[in-house]
Structure 1
Amino acid sequence: MGPWGVDVRGNGAAVNGVDLREALGVCDRDPVGSVLAASRIESALADGGDRAGSSLWGFRRDGRLDAVCWAGANLVPVCAEGDVEAVDAFARAALRQGRRSSSIVGPAWAVLALWDRLEPSWGTAREVRPDQPSLVLDGPPLVEPDPDVRAARPDEIGIVLPACVHMFVEEVGYSPVEGGSTAYESRVRALIAEQRSFVRVGTGERGPHVVFKAELGAVTRRVAQVQGVWVTPSLRGRGLAAPGMAAVTELARLRFAPSVSLYVNSYNERALATYRRVGFRQVGTYATVLF
């Protein structure tokens, strides 16, 4: 064992300044598992860069880039299962930098192996979700899409944002806008502007309100990952989720990428049943460590 309790069986070090196209080649080995990192790499390329700065770590073996780790708001490792040397290298880099990310997320083996090395120094996580089936749909949905689900409009931020906040509180346990923070609202506005926020809007005594929503949280040229699926509590159990998700997958495949993915906690049996009814199949397992 090395300093901070890190296993140093591998002698390689994580490096910065990684060539972005080379990094995408690593992500292409598992497009669904790597979508969170690949989406950020593709965005950096679209902004005109060809090399990443300190936000992307690379691990080389025999001169070849074998693994990468996005180190931004989320820590996202991308490496082959069982690649202990790469995980060790990323753990050393994370310990040198200190915890700056709000979560570690990605394929379960890499996330849990990385957290095993970081926990002695970083301390207890707020929550560890070790078993999150990673699902994908790469063809037409198996249920009829809801024709009322569409991309949200910028002028609907007043009804979309509260729905997003309610979903976040249910999922994570605290409000993303507490303390007056505007970062979450900016993110919601950006997704709407990019037509990556989908809603079904209901009407009634309280006026227009969101009854179903979902966003494409990460998009690459190959995969669009759905996040933030939510049905208003008063209408749950009435069959809105499956047709809504079918509509989201059709819109995502038409406008963004040929495959649509998502991950969900294994204990959320109702959600898993809904996604499978739509046509999603499991291709892997994610894990998330929340701080």
Structure 2
Amino acid sequence: MLRTPTARVLDEGDEAAVHRLLATDPVAACVLAGRIETAGTAAASLGAPLWGFGAGNELEAVCLAGANLIPFAVPGAERAAAAAFAERARRAGRRCSTIVGQAASVSPLWDLLAPYWGPARDHRPRQPLMAIDGPAAVAAEPRVRPVLPTELETLLPAAVAMFTEEVGVSPLRVDGGAGYRARVAEMVRAGLSLAWIQHGEVLFKADIGAVSRAACQVQGVWVAPAHRGRGIGTAGTAAVVEYARAAIAPVVSLYVNDFNTAARAAYRRVGFREVGQYASVLF
């Protein structure tokens, strides 16, 4: 009788094995690697359980089961890992707002969870993962800079507009937006929110939403609607790349919806190249 592969909750003793696993694809694993470099692998310090899949002391896959469910697996292990992670996720019940990560890991996991957790509010199965490890190919907008803590109130409406446009729901719908405001404020304090602010108006913004030693991931890129079509997004993203490579990590990445042809073209002009595929399931 065949048994479903099983996953276990990892602890601090698994940290070295997790680092070895994530180092197999530092760009795709950036979000997880950044969390683990900061907090380790114990659930108490991570704030959520980290599930592991593999034989003996080595790991073929992990999945962070927090506000986002984030699986990562080596090529060839995705389906077996998905079966193990889906079994744990079904037993625990849905606590996440998103499943996100490598498409090869997210897709089989969602196939198994959809009968229990579906329907999703949105499913984005093809999101090109792009990266740049050298200078931007276009001139950077010099007025893009880290947002100052005193500019939080100026930034917040743009951040809310970006989130609503990208995700399809307002971040203010939960707890009146207190949690989202705290997250934006934290990013500003850490120097990870950049913007072009002119006469009290945000023309462009972007966040460096995940940071590991090897790579960082840009998120929340947004241009004010009245200023679109002028190349601000391209020049602004180039400025973010230059800042991030100088101050944060040698490789800068992002992922984008496959249907957003304008954004993909802009990122290619900056010098990003496609290095993988992400997928997202939004609840």
Give yes or no for TM over 0.5.
yes
Q: In which range does the TM-score fall when normalised by the shorter chain? A: over 0.9
Partner of 2:190: 194
Would the aligned equivalents of 2:21 and 2:74 in 1 still touch at CA under 8 Å?
A: no
Report if the CA contact (8 A) 1:201-1:211 is conserved: yes
Root mean square deviation, CA, Å:
1.6
Give the aligned partner of residue 108 of structure 1: 103
Deviation at 1:192, TM superposition (A): 0.2
Out of 160, 179, 184, the position equivalent to 2:180 is 184
Quote how far apart the aligned CAs of 1:137 are.
0.4
Hey, what's the Cα distance between the residues in 2 that align with 1:56 and 1:118?
A: 18
Q: Map 1:153-172 to 2 at 5 A.
A: 153-172=148-167
CA distance in 2, matches of 1:173, 1:145: 30
Q: Measure, in 2, the Cα distance between the counterparts of 1:9 and 1:133.
A: 34
Q: 1:51 offset after TM fit, Å?
A: 3.4
SS at match of 2:119: coil
1:29 partnered with 2:12? no
For 1:65 and 1:244, the matched residues in 2 are separated by 39
Shift of 1:103: 0.4
User: Which residue identity lines up with residue 103 of structure 2 in the other structure?
Assistant: A
Distance (whole Å) between structure 1 residues aligned to residue 151 and residue 38 of structure 2 = 26
3-state SS of paired residue (1:238): coil
Cα separation, 2, equivalents of 1:132 and 1:138: 20
| Displacement after TM superposition at 1:82 (Å) | 3.1
Verify the 8 A CA contact 1:20 1:52 in the aligned structure 2.
Answer: no
Asked if the contact 1:15/1:59 (under 8 Å) is kept, the reply is no
Contact 2:5 2:81 in 1 (8 A): no
Aligned to 2:280: 288
- Amino acid of the residue matched to residue 121 of structure 2? R
On the 8 A contact 1:12/1:61 being kept in 2, the answer is no
CA distance in structure 2 between the partners assigned to 1:13 and 1:250 by the alignment: 40
Alignment map for 1:37-52 (pairs within 5 Å) = 37-45=32-40, 51-52=42-43
Q: Find the counterpart in structure 2 of residue 274 from structure 1.
A: 266
Secondary structure at the counterpart of residue 247 of structure 1: helix
The alignment status of 1:219 with 2:211, answered yes or no, reads yes
2:76 to 82, 103, 117: 82
Consecutive unaligned residues of structure 1, counting only runs of 5 or more, are: 2-7
Q: Tell me the equivalent position of 2:50.
A: 56
1 CA distance for matches of 2:27 and 2:4? 27
Q: Letter of the 2:76 partner, please give it.
A: G
TM-score by length of 1: 0.91
In 1: Cα distance, 2:219 partner to 2:183 partner: 13
CA distance in 1, matches of 2:43, 2:258: 34
Identity across aligned pairs (percent)? 49
Amino acid in the other structure paired with 1:199 = A
TM-score of the aligned structures, taking structure 2 as reference length? 0.94
* Partners of 1:132 and 1:266 within 8 A in 2: yes
Deviation string for 1:121-177 (max 9, x for gaps)?
A: 112100000010000000000001111110000000111111000011111111101
1:145 and 2:137 correspond? no
